Structure 1
Amino acid sequence: MDDSLEPRALRARRIDRAGAKAAEQGGVISLMQLRDHGVTRHQVRAQVSARRWRRVHSQVVAVHTGPLSDIGAQWAAVLEGGPQAYLDGASALIAEGLTGFTWDAVRVSVPMASRARSAPGLLVVRTRRYDPRVVVPSGVPRARPDVAAVHAALWAKSDKQAVLLITMAVQQRLTTAERIGQSLLSVHRDKRRRLLHAAVLDLLDGVRSISEAEFAAECRKRGLPKPSRQVVRRGKDGTYYLDVCWEEWGVVVEIDGIQHSWATNVVQDALRHNDVTLDNSVVLRLPLLGLRVAADDFFAQIERALRDRGCPLGRTCDDAADGTAAS
C-alpha cells in the first residue's frame, strides 16, 4: 500500500504500538517487529530522517535519539542477532545483575547456521554450545547464570579472568557453585576444563584435603622445607588451627577459601591473624584462587619471608624442618 493513501491516524496508531513494544525492550525494536506492527520501511526512514528515531544496528532502531541504556544495548544485541539469539557468557551475567565487571562488547550466541553479523559493540558468535533450552524465560533473552558463568570462563581472556568470573557469579549470588559444577559437566574438551573443575571445588570449600597436596607439591617444586599442617594455637576465644606453619622461622600461611571474603568471617579471621602476629610470627594469606592463577607470585612472597627469617632454602618439601631426613 502507498503510505500516502493510508489514513494518518492509522499510521500514528501503528507507530505508537511499535513504540510501546520498544519501551518493553529498553527503547529499541527490530525491523522485523516493526513490520509485524504494520510499520513500513518507508515510515521507518521517515522517522529516522525526522530525527525522532535512530539506527542502532542494521536490523534495529531506537525510538529516540539519546544514548542507549544498558538494557537497551542488550536488547539491541539480541534483536540484531535474530529471533534465535540470546545473551551469553559475561554479557548474560551482567544482564543478570553482575557488578564490578565490564566487557567491551555485548556477546550473543546464535546457531551455527545463522547469518547474523557482528557490529561495533556487538559480538555475534556462532557456537556449538548454542542451546535454546538454557534461556531464561523472562526479560532480555539470556543464558541461565550457571551456564553463562561456565561459558564466560571458557571464553575469558586469561585463566585469572576465567576463575574471577565464576567466583564473582557465586559471590554475588547469581548462581551457586553446585549449579556451575553441574553445567561444567557438559564441557568435555577445553584447555581450561581442569582449572575450572578445581575452581568449583574451591568454591564448594571441599578442597582442604587436595589443597594440602597441592601446597606440598608447590613447596617441593621450589625447594622449600616441609611445613607443619593444622598447627594448634590457643587464643582468647579458644583453640584454632593454622593452615600452614614453619614454626622454626615463625612463618604462617593461611589458605583462604571463598568463605573468607564473606562478612561473617571477617572479624574472627582478623582476630586470629592479629593473635599470631603478636606472637612474633609473620602471617601471609594465600587465597585458593591465587593458588590457581598466581602461584609463582604468592610463593615468591613465602620464599622471601622464610629467607628473611633465616631459613636455608633449597631443601625439598620432603625434608624435615630440622634438616634430618623424613621417615
Structure 2
Amino acid sequence: MPAQPHHDLPALVAARRLATAQGGVVSRRQLYAVGLTRWQVRGQVRARRWQRVGDQSVCLHNAAISDVGHHWAAVFQGGPRAYLDGASALVAGGLQRYEVDRVRVSVPRGARVRRDRRYDIRQTRRWDAGDVVPTGVPRARPATAAVRAALWARTDRQAAYLLTLTVQQGLATAEEVGSEALRVRRDRRRVLVQQVVHELLEGARTLDEAAIVRELVRRGLPAPARQVVRRGRHGRYVLDLHWPGHRLVVEVDGIQHAWAEHVVGDAVRQNDLVLTGERVLRVPMLGLRLEPDTFYGQIEQALAAGPVQDRDVMRTEHPLARSG
C-alpha cells in the first residue's frame, strides 16, 4: 500500500475511528466531514483497499462485511431519517437464536427510497422518530421492534416466536410489548399479537383454560375438572385439567414454563404424577393458538382409551409410587 501524504493522515485516522464503532462501514457524508475528498475516497476504492456498500457508504477494508457493518450500511442507504426496524432492530439490539434474510429499514412516508438488493428499505406509516434508540446504530426500541416484527412476520408461528423471544431474552418486558401492541389500530395480525401479549403478561390464564374446556366439549369430548388440588411427595400441586376416571392430566403451559426457574419444578411435578399412575400431556398455550388440531387431537387420542376402572391395577405398574 503506497504511503499516504502526511496531510491525509488525520482524516484517515478519524475515518478509521468512525469505522471501528460502525462495523467497518462509514457513510460518504461522514468521510467528507472528516476531511477526505471524493477523489481520495474513489482512489481507495479503485485500489481495492476499501469497498463500496451501496451508493451511500464505504467499508474501510476489502474483507467480508460483518452483520454490524451491514446494519450501518442499510441505515446509511435509507437516508438521514432511516432506522433499523422489526426483526433487524431486535437482532442489532442483541436478540439471539434468530437470523434475518434481509436487513429491514424504515423511512417515513414520502421519503426517497434508494433501492439496494441487500437491504429491505420501505416507507411506513408507523415511522416515528420517538421510537429510535438514542445510542448505537439507529434502530427501533425493542418493544416497538418486536410488535412490528410480529406484524411483518411471514407466518403466525414466526410472529409468536419473535414476541416470545423478545421477552424471554430480556430485550423488553411483557408490559412494554403490551403497551406497543395497543398502538396498533389496524392490521390483519393485530388480534394474534394481542393474544400472545396477553399470554406473556400471564393475565388470561383462567380465561384461556375456560376456552379450552369449551372447545373440548364442542369437539365432543368430556369436560375435565379444573384447578384440582393434589398433594404429592414433593408438595402441593394444582392440576390445570384433570379427567380422574381416565387418569389423564393436561398441563396448560404459559410462557413462564419456558423460563429456567420453572423447568426443574415442572419436571418434578410431572414425574410425581406419572409415578402415581397418571398420564400427563403438556400443552403450550402458543401451540393451542398456532396448531390447535394437533394438541386437541392428542387429548382426544388419550381419552379414546376409555375410563380406567381399576386404579389399583394402574398403580401396580409403578411400584415407586408406593414408597414414602
How high is the TM-score relative to the length of structure 1?
0.89
Q: What CA distance in whole angstroms lies between the structure 2 residues aligned with 1:107 and 1:272? A: 44
Q: Counterpart in 2 of 1:67?
A: 64
Q: Does 1:234 align with 2:239?
A: no
What SS class does the counterpart of residue 137 from structure 1 fall into? coil
Judge which range, 228-237 or 164-173, deviates more: 228-237
Larger CA deviation: 268-277 vs 217-226 = 217-226
Deviations along 1:49-72, one digit per CA (max 9) or x if unpaired, are: 111100111211100001112211
What is the SS of the residue equivalent to 2:73?
Answer: helix
Residue 318 (structure 2) aligns with:
none
Provide runs of 4+ in structure 1 moved above 3 Å. 308-311
Q: Give the deviation of 1:83 after TM superposition.
A: 1.1
Match of 1:185 among 167, 182, 187: 182
Structure 1 vs Structure 2 CA RMSD: 1.6
Specify the alignment match of 1:303 in structure 2.
300
Deviates more, 1:11-20 or 1:289-298: 11-20
- The alpha-carbon deviation at position 295 of structure 1 amounts to 1.2
Q: Which amino acid aligns with 2:251?
A: E
Secondary structure of residue in 1 paired with 2:245 = coil
Match of 2:144 in 1: 147
Show the counterpart of 1:104: 101
Residue deviations 1:155-212 (CA, integer Å, cap 9, x gap): 0111111111011000000010000111111101111111111111111111222112
How far the C-alpha of 1:310 sits from its partner, in A, is: 5.9
Show the counterpart of 1:3.
none
**Alignment partner of 1:269 is 2:266:** yes
What is the CA–CA distance in structure 1 between the aligned matches of 2:113 and 2:5, rounded to whole Å?
35
* Aligned match of 1:132: 129
**Structure 1: 5+ residue stretches without partners:** 1-6, 312-327
**Are residues 1:214 and 2:211 paired?**
yes
| Distance (Å, rounded) in 1 between the aligned partners of 2:249 and 2:73 | 52
User: Structure 2: where are the runs of 5+ without partners?
Assistant: 309-324
What residue is the counterpart of 1:84 in the other structure?
81
Question: 2:211 corresponds to which letter in structure 1?
Answer: E
Instruction: Check whether the contact 1:29–1:61 (CA below 8 A) recurs between aligned residues.
Output: yes
**Higher RCO (C-alpha 8 Å, min separation 6):** 1
Range that drifts further, 231-240 or 130-139: 231-240
Deviation at 1:309, TM superposition (A): 4.2
Describe the SS at the equivalent of 1:304.
helix
Distance 2:305 2:26 in 1: 65
Amino acid across the alignment from 2:44: Q
C-alpha contact (below 8 Å) 1:88/1:142 kept by paired residues: yes
1:315 counterpart residue number: none
Inter-partner Cα distance in structure 2 for 1:8 and 1:266: 63
Residues 104 and 121, structure 1, Cα contact 8 Å, conserved in 2? no
Deviation at 1:231, TM superposition (A): 1.6
Distance 1:283 1:10 in 2: 76
Whether 1:47 aligns to 2:25 is no
Q: Is the CA contact 2:83–2:140 (under 8 Å) kept in the aligned structure 1? A: yes
Contact 2:245 2:307 in 1 (8 A): no
3-state DSSP of counterpart to 1:241: strand
Query: Are 1:58 and 2:52 matched, yes or no?
Result: no
